[in-house]
Every structure is written in structure tokens, then in C-alpha cells.
Chains A and B, each alone.
Chain A
Amino acid sequence: MENLFVGAAEGLRNTLSGVGLTGVWNDALLMLVKLVGILVFILINALWLVYMERKVAAFMQARIGPNRVGPKGLLQTAADIGKLISKEIPIPKDADKVVFILAPCLIFIPPLMVFAVVPFGQNMVAIDMNIGLFYFFAIASLSTMMFWMSGWASNNKYSLLGSMRVVAQMVSYELPLVLSLLGVVMITGTLSLTKIIEAQAHMWFIFVQPIAFLIYFTAAVAECNRCPFDLVEGESEIICGPFTEYGGMGFAMFFLAEYANVMLISALATIVFLGGWLAPFGWTFIPSWVWFFLKMYLMIFIVMQLRWTYPRIRVDQLMGFGWKVLVPLSLANIFITGIGVYIYRALGW
């Protein structure tokens, strides 16, 4: 079980060599298969997460949730997406049509690109990049652009307000997000996600860097525009923010991308703080990719629980919290970690 996917990739490589494909073409085809696999994984997960979100919400409100379409309502999202696909995409008369259409088309690209460097299990990373963490944030923060594009192109007050909030929020929270992870990078001395996981073989970084974990998690939830930081969509104030003018599949793309982003931040939290695919208590009889998956879903569940527990905060509170609490805290964390690393090195541990 452990080598299920690795073995499959190896088998495919051997088959391709047997057919006569070698060298670059072999690698290229294999990479294509891997990336398509990741794509399918993300899309299926996004569909599942919409269902899970509704179920979690229902359970926390003493309801049952979707249970009519398919067994236990499992096909509910498929039915929803089917409906959304069949709908017309209305374009407002005064909208910037090209940008308006382009935004939902591009919104899925950053999460897809980032997942290429995520190690799903032992030796299960499509591209083992030595600057994985850096790449992660460099690409993930591009989502801001799509939100701004959609809000601006809609030519609508609510959309514009929403997208301005997106830019303000995402830029502000990018800072503590990155700074909180610097402590881990200082300890491990690497930006490679695989190496960061391997460094946690004896101790997960959540125990070494608890403050950093809390800062990361808070900032990451804000980065995803999830409740309690969902001012961007803030239904009661600005209808649906940048997505107000979107209908049909345009809206669905934004909706699914939100869940892809939730998956992304949960995956990164797993990698950097929860030991990635490493098994706790030496329970290696469960395959590493199952461990990764379980930890990721634990984080996703907590993100969902946050949404159904806390009310939305105000814009000024959001900004104040980001700049006056999270940034100084993460800077202090870096400072203390630096001293700690220095002392440890001086002691010769």
C-alpha cells in the first residue's frame, strides 16, 4: 500500500520505456500524468469539500444536511455543478467583458500550480523543488489578482468594494503568513517542502513553534477569505463581493477555487507543522499518503468549524488584528527562534 502511487508511476515509466519512449519524452509524459492526477484529485476534493461543508454546517446546527441526491446526498454537489454548467453566464452591459470572463478562468490556476510541489506522501511529489515554500507563496498570492480582476471588471459598487477588501486583506495577511513560517525555515535551514517534513521525524514543528502555528493558521484562514475573515464576500454587507455579477459556471469556479485554497492551506499546515506524511507514534502500517490525507482533512475540518462558530469581524478590526497583532507577534517569534537556534548551536546540540 505504501508504494501504491510510486509503484504505479514506476510501472508507467517502465511501460513507456518498453514501448520505446525514453529520455525527455518519457519524463514529460510521466509528468503530464502526474499533473493530471493532481488536477483530478483537487477537483474531486473540491466537490467533496462543498458537500462536507454543508454536512458539517448542518451537523453543528442540529440538522442533517443534504441527503436526497444519491446515497447520503453524496451526489448533491455533482447535481449542483450540473445545474450551474447548464446555466447562462450573464455579462453585465457595462462590464469589461474580456477581464470579466478571464477572472473565473484563471482563478483555478494558482492552486493547481502550487499543488505540483506538495508532497502527498513519501516520494510522492510531482516536482521536488528546492525552493518549494517560496514557490508556494509566490504563486498562491497571485489569487489576489483574479479577485481584483473580477471585482473591477464587474463595474459594480459591491464588486469593487469586495475586491478592494480582498486586496487589502490578502496583502496584509500575506505578511504574517510568510513571517510565521520563517521560524521553521530558520530551524531547518531549507525551503524544500520534502526536507522540512524529513526534519520533523523526531518532533513536529507544531510543538517547537506553537505561536507560529497559530499565526500561520489565522493568517491562512484570512488568506482564503474564510469566515471569520470573509469580509470579502460578506453577504449581509456587499452581497457576494467580487462574485456578485457572476452566475452559472463563472460563480462555480470561484466557489470551487475557495475550497481548493482551503485544501492548499491545510496541506501546507500539515507539511510545515504537522509532520506531513510522517506517521505519529511510529504507526507506519498506515501508508504515508493516508497520514497526509488524514492530517490535511483534520485541518480542513477545523477551518470549517471556525466558519460555523465565529461571527464575521469588522474591516478595521481585521486590519488592526493583522498589522498590530499578527505581524509583531510573528516578528517576535522570528527573533526568539533566532536566539534559540543560536543558543542551540552554541551548545553544540
Chain B
Amino acid sequence: MFGKGLLKGLQITMREFWAPKFTVQYPEQQHPVPERFHGKFKLDPDACIACGLCVNACPNKVISLKKEKVGKKQYLTEYLMDIQYCLFCGLCVESCNKDALKFTQDFRLCQYHHDNILMTLVKREAPPQPVEEEEPAAKAEPKAGAKAAKAKKEVAAGKAPDKEGQK
């Protein structure tokens, strides 16, 4: 019959008119984020031993950390991520022996100002040195700790990838 196709078309659009809609109204509704999503980083500062493996693992040199030696242990004082260069590969998270560094499901990392891009995961003061040590040693040690951190940073900045490349 002539015009059958036209009617069929109208039928289809009419059916679609009442069908449920697919649009997700983003700020109010959200698609569920997968469990292992590579989102914002979260660092558990108490679990972190400031070993610097994550700094070494990062291909883009995003991570920089500062630490001080308190007693016999390294104490993390600052953990920064220049997140604009991060490609969320997850090598840092994998390298962490203590499972201190983790991904969260928060993907809202946009910032209005350029200065806010630098992500500070940890920033804290080192606790006072344990009292049983002698005075001069206690004074010298923080400096040594700072030196070590500097050295570590240099390694992270330039030398570590070279070494790996030579291997």
C-alpha cells in the first residue's frame, strides 16, 4: 500500500517519544565510576616510609617529596604532585610497597587557576627528635636528612631514568 512506509516511520518516532531517555544529567546524576578507576591520588601519610620509589617510577617526573630523618626512620614532610603532567598510568601506585599511595574514584580535578593545579597530598612539620640522643647529633641530623632528600630529588629528576636506560 502506498504510504505504508510513512506510517511506519511515524509509528517508530511515536514509540521513541515515550521510550525512556538515555541522557544522564551529569551534576545530579552520574554514571557509576569503576572500582579501579584512575582518579585523584590519595596518600596515607602514616603508612608512607618516604622511600621515593614512586618518585623514581614516575615517567613524567610529576612527584616530588621531602623528608626528614626522625630518630631512625625517614619522616615524610611534603608530598607534591604536579598533576598537569600526570598521565594517570598508575606506575607510582604499583611501585608503592606499603600501599600508601592509592587512586580514588574522584575525577573532578579541574581548577580555575593555574596555581591550584599543583596538588599537595602531604604537608606537615616533622615531629621533634627523640630526647635520648645528644644535642649536636640531633642538630646535625635534620641537615643530613635534608641533604638526603635533595640527593633523592636529583636522582628522581635526572639520573634515575638514565641509569635505567643504561641497563
Contact = CB atoms under 8 A, between A and B. Distances in A.
Give the interface size class of chain B: 10 to 19
A59 B16 contact: yes
Given A60-B16, A61-B16, A62-B16, A305 B21 contact: no
Contacts of A309: 9-10, 12-13
A306 B10 CA distance: 7
B6 A64 contact: no
Interface string A300-336: 0000011011100000000000000000000000000
A62 B19 contact: yes
A310 B7 CA distance: 11
Contacts of A60: 13, 16-17
A63 interface: yes
Contacts of B1: none
B23 A56 contact: no
Interface in A47-78: 56, 58-64, 67
B25 interface: yes
Contacts of A62: 16, 19-23
Interface residues of A, number: 14
A56 to B, nearest CB: 7
Interface in A24-64: 56, 58-64
A59 B12 contact: no
A53 to B, nearest CB: 13
Contacts of B6: 310
Contacts of B20: 62
Contacts of B21: 58-59, 62-64
Contacts of B16: 59-62
Contacts of A306: 10
Interface in B17-50: 17, 19-23, 25
A59 B9 contact: no
B109 interface: no
B9 A56 contact: no
Nearest to B24: A64
B110 interface: no
A310 B10 CA distance: 8
Nearest to A306: B10
A309 to B, nearest CB: 5
A305 B25 contact: no
B137 interface: no
Contacts of B25: 64, 67
B140 interface: no
B131 interface: no
B22 A56 contact: no
Nearest to A301: B17
Nearest to A311: B9
Nearest to B5: A310
Nearest to A305: B13
B14 interface: yes
Contact of A56 (B10, B12, B17, B19): B17
Given A62-B22, A309-B13, 19 more contacts: A56-B17, A59-B16, A59-B21, A60-B13, A61-B16, A62-B16, A62-B20, A62-B21, A63-B21, A63-B22, A64-B25, A67-B25, A305-B10, A305-B13, A305-B17, A308-B13, A309-B10, A309-B12, A310-B9
Interface of B: 6, 9-10, 12-14, 16-17, 19-23, 25
19 contacts: A58-B21, A59-B16, A60-B13, A60-B16, A61-B16, A62-B16, A62-B19, A62-B20, A62-B23, A63-B23, A67-B25, A305-B10, A305-B17, A306-B10, A309-B9, A309-B12, A309-B13, A310-B6, A310-B9
Give the 9 A-B residue pairs with the shortest CB-CB distance, closest first: A309-B13, A309-B9, A64-B23, A60-B13, A62-B22, A59-B17, A60-B16, A63-B23, A64-B21
